[in-house]
Chains A and B, each alone.
Chain A
């Protein structure tokens, strides 16, 4: 349908005003909210995801598309049932204690959010106990840990231990990342997943979801 194709394209290029108007128009014309969501908004984000992986779209463009899709979703929400919008999972993410590097963590957080995860960014320099508390308070099923310093990587292991102590380890999948972190370190400390960049992080999280 031409209008849904337009919506799809306008989400992709981040044209918020057009998407808002066209989503409303589609509803007015009698298209179901479910169809607008699936064939307009979600279809657009699938293309965006593929283009990002193919290195055709840059991060600011992906984020703009995601924001546009969210705006469109805002109009659809009253017309959708609870189960219609699939939330991929609830993620608590932060940089471990002693570490201030947050650029990579922020990127992962933003891109996970744009991929449909509900993300709570708890910032930098977060202690193991605080991570456990945030997981509990938010009833999260994912925890993302970032470390850029070899001196702070051990905090990832301690955070896993804190989750264990708090009886929360079974409830969350733990993802780790940051320049000095690799798969073998992730395996060694018993994390559930590792990703070397934000694109890969989304993939891994979706696989584990």
Chain B
């Protein structure tokens, strides 16, 4: 745990970087904007003072609500709200030990699982399909995300073309004045150390101009794109988030913003980013603590692992990764379910195991409810020493309180064996199959569905992926 002194020290160190070293924004109009507000600028490098950061912190909201097409699925970011989204951006699917290229069909499988899950609140675009040309694949993927579930989507925006798709599809879904509310939610990365690339600047400017939330998430890799020490990683990450915050609040004071971080150490043996390690959990905890300190919504952590099987290593790493941030009160978790192999792949079995894990952690985080009724002192008195509670009406009334449907084993060995003696991955596959079979697509206005289809498939050379029949 960080003390408030620790946090202030890290903040001051971050401010020093912003003031003395500055941050490069590889987009002239962004730099011009800073200059026009009186910031010191040298080429593409922008220097920020403590006053600039304070001014941004003073106007940024501490929470905001995203509105989707189903009012029951609006999502609040901030306070003690937790939003969990599934895996995002994986190129591969891991089945058994076999790693294969992800397809549109895999994307559809993931979205169905997310839609059916009661623990996943939000969608990430889970798979980058490799059975499509890239640009068509993008539009078709967005179409699947928007039609196969009415949960809100974390729009993957890496290029100005992607940004346009996000703006256009929002207009189709919500009408011309869609940006009156928070509709498009995206994660933007800095290009560590201390840079923002052109596409990121453009997305930040355009989205902030429409008052849409931005979740700024540096991915500093200790020893390669950041200092090797965790404190150094934290300082660099903090400076970059503050720089992004200042930009967004300049464009649109009061624009919703999320303090994000997914920085970790890298293996000094191979350079690979490590996400299944204690340093990652500590960094993610600290990320949430710093966001909490500044009263900003936070994003950190996830169901991340460096394992290549949904095995015990994966289970340990995910549980530690998720618990670390959930216990600290994180507001948004991307890659909550299904991601494996250090961000590189999706596993359907792991998807449902993580789903279960998130559910268990949510229960775990509830405070033990202390009341007359729950302390049941009078019941204990009535039963007395040596008695039995099974026949008590208190027991009868509460016997379903902790009954969570689960495919984790809770039976004795012989029963477990007689039911197939399955390990967790095999049970998970069965569970995934059942979830997929019960999937029902949510309703969508046929007119909107047609418009979305026209927009996303209009120029496609590859036949549309028919995930949802019109």
Contacts and interface: CB of A to CB of B under 8 A. Distances in A.
A107 B223 contact: no
A167 interface: no
Of A100, A149, A199, most B-chain CB atoms within 10 Å = A100
Contacts of A106: 224
Of B130, B134, B197, most A-chain CB atoms within 10 Å = B134
Interface residues of A, number: 18
A198 B134 contact: no
A103 B344 contact: no
B268 A59 contact: yes
B268 A58 contact: yes
Contact of B130 (A100, A150, A179, A199): A150
B221 interface: yes
Given A103-B224, A150-B130, A179 B344 contact: yes
Nearest to B343: A179
A100 B91 contact: no
A151 B136 CA distance: 11
Given A100-B197, A150-B91, A150-B128, A198 B223 contact: no
Nearest to B341: A179
Interface in A94-108: 100, 103-104, 106-107
Contacts of A55: 269
Interface in B224-243: 224-225, 228
Contact of A103 (B221, B228, B268): B221
B351 interface: no
A74 interface: no
Contacts of A100: 191, 197
Nearest to B200: A100
Contacts of B271: 59, 103-104, 107, 197-198
B270 interface: yes
Interface of A: 55, 58-60, 100, 103-104, 106-107, 149-151, 154, 179-180, 197-199
Interface of B: 91-92, 101, 128, 130, 134, 191, 197, 221, 223-225, 228, 266, 268-272, 344
- Considering the complex of A and B, which 9 residue pairs feature the smallest CB-CB distances, nearest first? A58-B268, A151-B134, A150-B91, A107-B271, A103-B224, A180-B91, A150-B128, A150-B130, A58-B269
